Amino acid sequence: MEQGEAILIRKQAWRDTSLLATWITPSRGKVSTMARSARKPGSPFGGVLDLFHTVEIGYAPAKRGDLHTLKEVRLLRPFQSPSTPNLFLAGYFAELVDLSTQDGHEAPGLYNLFSRAIGFLSSQPANRRALEFFETEMCRVLGILEEKATALRTIEHYCGRIPGSRNAVCSLLCRP
């Protein structure tokens, strides 16, 4: 069984009772897991499979493919968003991390950046400066920062697109 610290960046329902969960980890990069029976009442995963929580996970590696079986989760640090803009900005950051990583490729710098951003958004109001800082630092961590291009243009070139949620986040952050 593989174990390690992780932050949940995406989850979706699968069948009647299970969840697909995507994590960012320092040692394995992006990890996709199946949490069987996670949506059943009394599930051992109840309350800990929330977006942006920092947890310790244990999973059985897949024999074929990249979808592992989640076995255990222990909460280390919950994410408590003080406002809607903070939650939206955390979601945008998670989309960027998801777009820029591949399953099973080590990404300690990106994990540390995302973890710091989640810590910031747990205690400080979301703002445009935080958004632009994350985008620039992500480019620096990935080694793709181009001198003459903006971080946003560099991300678009590297990832193929900018998440659509960026416009919604920007409009929330620009409100008085």
Query: Which pLDDT tens digit goes with each residue over 77-128?
Result: 999 888 999 999 999 999 999 999 988 888 889 999 999 999 999 999 999 9
pLDDT at 41 over 80: yes
In this predicted model, which residue has the larger pLDDT, 56 or 144?
56
Crossing angle between the packed helical segments 108-123 and 128-142, to the nearest 10 degrees? 170
Evaluated on CA atoms 49, 116, 139, 174, the torsion sign reads positive
